[in-house]
A and B are shown apart, each in its own frame.
Chain A
Amino acid sequence: MDGFLDLLTLPAVQRSAIGLLIAAVGLPIVGVFIIGLDIIAVRFAMMHVALLGIAVGLLTGLDPMLCGLAACALAGAGVAPLARRPTGLPGAMGLLMTFAIAAALLVLSVSGVNATGAFELLWGSILATRDIDLYVLGALALVVHVLFWRWRRQLALLLFDRELALCSGVAAGPLLLALLVVIAVAIGASIRLTGALLVDALTILPALGARNLGRSLRSMVAWAIALGITGNSIGFVVALLLDQPPGPVLVLVAGTLTLLTYLIPEGARDAIDPGRRAGRGGDPVSAGQRMWQH
């Protein structure tokens, strides 16, 4: 136990803990967006797009990581028009992934850089979190929360059905564009900060669990954050106690929590979500009744 407490005094461990906490507050919302848009393959696509950006950076002498993030943002914006097609976005992610890796390898070949070396620039580890990484994570979490809380009603309609959103006055095109850019940049930056494996634990897994527990976008987001914080806290403590690498332990803990949500019976889900039992909607209101009740 003393050894564990000693570990907590290390600045690297403290930064990692803070990073995981910030990530647990922001990234699960990105996961909810990803599941809502049915683009779980986005992580793989953005990994390859970021590599293409890094390759371009190495070729041109610009900051490779900035180029990687810019490439992710452009790719997110580039696939937005495909959402109009019924199977547009999921298919687009596969296309993007293939195009990006081919283009990246070509650019790396032209620039004379070893592909493995470029990949290493993309790989991060939560234990190697720097102060600047915390600022980036914090900024990302802030942007994600602003996007969600400012446009949550519109997002609920858009993620439910794009045509319904359009017919409800939602600017579906610009909102979807913003959503995809935020997702792309968040994934690109998170891979660099936490490592590719951990990105899934921080984004997709809490959102998958929340999908089983929440019955609206808002409750899904709340559940996703709760699962994220719980999974990250338990996973990080267990990793330190067992002296194991945090990435796989965090993924296993998050995966177990998600698995448990699949095992909860429907009736028990009602019991843990008060909103499921409440019949608060549909109250007749006099203003509207004047028009319809003759």
Chain B
Amino acid sequence: MTAAAIRFDSVTCRYGRRTAVDRVDLDIAAGEHVALTGANGSGKTTLLRAALGLHPTAGGTISVGGTPADSRSEWTRRRRDVAWVPQRLTPGRFPLLVDELLDSGGDPAAARAAANQLGVAGLGSRPLHTLSGGQLQRVFLARALGAVAAGARALFADEPTAALDFDGQEQVATLLARLPVTVVVVSHDRAMSRACDRVAEMAAGKLRVV
């Protein structure tokens, strides 16, 4: 077994007094694809957000590439190392063009190519708030693939197929399965879980089955 590319070591996260993630330990090898499943509110999204520094940890450490993140520069490096497809695909409070989003991922050319493959080419001059949920999800995925092309070592995707039709779910599952980087995907989608090397299930903040 190679050293863990991503290590969650007794990670705890809270919302006020409520514990959302409770002493989670999880090692993920380099290049391994892990599906994170579990009921709504079981802490999956919070765990991923904590790994990106978007939610504070109340205990434990999260290492990517053997390095925890403590300083601002380390968090910046972490976010460059990990491509992200957010769960809440908010249309945002301000206009942002699809092209601007694709350019923000690291490799705009690769992001556009991925957008083409995902069937959302030609939307470049559209503001995000004018897209459907499925289009928005594909555009965010294309952006993340651009980040991987730019050198991100891992991809975190939070329910990346939730707004897609069946064909779209299969397509994205196949696309992610081909990625040569570590992938952690939160999903309720069976096609996605089948495409992963391992399934980890969370329940009430705890990692129950690995």
Q: Give bound CA distance, A198 to B192, whole Å.
A: 57
Q: Give bound CA distance, A9 to B105, whole Å.
A: 55
B residues 138-162 touching A (CB-CB < 8 Å) = 145-146, 149
Nearest A residue to B73 via CB reads A171
A38 an interface residue at 8 Å Cβ cutoff? yes
Partner-binding segment picked from B13-21, B38-46, B95-103, B198-206: B95-103
B104 an interface residue at 8 Å Cβ cutoff? yes
Number of residue pairs A-B, CB distance < 8 angstroms: 135
A117 an interface residue at 8 Å Cβ cutoff? no
A166 an interface residue at 8 Å Cβ cutoff? yes
Cross-chain contact B104 with A283 (CB below 8 angstroms): no
For A, the interface residue count at a CB cutoff of 8 angstroms equals 40
B residues 27-71 touching A (CB-CB < 8 Å) = 52-54
Cross-chain contact B86 with A293 (CB below 8 angstroms): no
Cross-chain contact A164 with B95 (CB below 8 angstroms): no
Cross-chain contact B113 with A288 (CB below 8 angstroms): yes
A residues 211-239 touching B (CB-CB < 8 Å) = 214-217, 220
* A173 shortest CB reach to chain B, Å: 8
Cross-chain contact A281 with B98 (CB below 8 angstroms): yes
Partner-binding segment picked from B3-11, B118-126, B182-190: B118-126
Cross-chain contact A275 with B125 (CB below 8 angstroms): yes
Q: Which residues of B contact A156 (CB under 8 A)?
A: 94, 96, 100
Given A169-B80, A288-B112, do A215 and B95 touch, yes or no (CB 8 Å)? yes
Q: A284: which of B52, B80, B116, B126 is its contact (CB, 8 Å)?
A: B116
Given A36-B94, A157-B104, A294-B178, do A163 and B125 touch, yes or no (CB 8 Å)? no
The residue among A171, A283, A289, A291 with the most chain B CB atoms within 10 A of its own CB is A291
Cross-chain contact B175 with A292 (CB below 8 angstroms): yes
Q: Give bound CA distance, A169 to B175, whole Å.
A: 25
Cross-chain contact B94 with A217 (CB below 8 angstroms): yes
Q: Give bound CA distance, A294 to B117, whole Å.
A: 11
| Chain A window 270-289, contacts with chain B (Cβ cutoff 8 Å), 1 for yes, 0 for no | 00000110111111111111
* B157 shortest CB reach to chain A, Å: 13
Nearest B residue to A152 via CB reads B100
Cross-chain contact B116 with A289 (CB below 8 angstroms): yes
The residue among A157, A168, A289, A293 with the most chain B CB atoms within 10 A of its own CB is A168
Given A171-B76, A288-B109, A288-B111, do A282 and B95 touch, yes or no (CB 8 Å)? no
* A280 shortest CB reach to chain B, Å: 5
* B165 shortest CB reach to chain A, Å: 20
Q: Give bound CA distance, A216 to B112, whole Å.
A: 19
A residues 243-293 touching B (CB-CB < 8 Å) = 275-276, 278-289, 291-293
Given A279-B122, A289-B113, A292-B113, do A160 and B149 touch, yes or no (CB 8 Å)? no
A131 an interface residue at 8 Å Cβ cutoff? no
Given A160-B96, A216-B96, A217-B95, do A284 and B113 touch, yes or no (CB 8 Å)? yes
Task: Report 23 cross-chain contacts, Cβ distance below 8 Å, ordered by A residue.
Answer: A38-B93, A157-B104, A160-B96, A160-B128, A168-B79, A168-B104, A215-B95, A215-B127, A216-B96, A216-B127, A275-B125, A276-B125, A281-B102, A281-B112, A281-B121, A282-B112, A282-B115, A283-B112, A283-B116, A286-B109, A287-B109, A288-B149, A292-B117
Q: Which residues of A contact B (CB under 8 A)?
A: 35-36, 38, 153, 156-157, 159-161, 163-164, 166-169, 171, 173, 214-217, 220, 275-276, 278-289, 291-294
Q: Which residues of B contact A (CB under 8 A)?
A: 52-54, 72, 76, 79-80, 84, 86, 90, 92-107, 109-117, 120-128, 145-146, 149, 175, 178
Given contacts A216-B96, A283-B121, 18 further A-B contacts (CB under 8 A): A35-B94, A160-B96, A161-B93, A163-B54, A163-B86, A166-B53, A166-B54, A173-B72, A278-B125, A280-B99, A281-B112, A281-B124, A282-B116, A288-B112, A288-B114, A289-B113, A292-B117, A294-B178
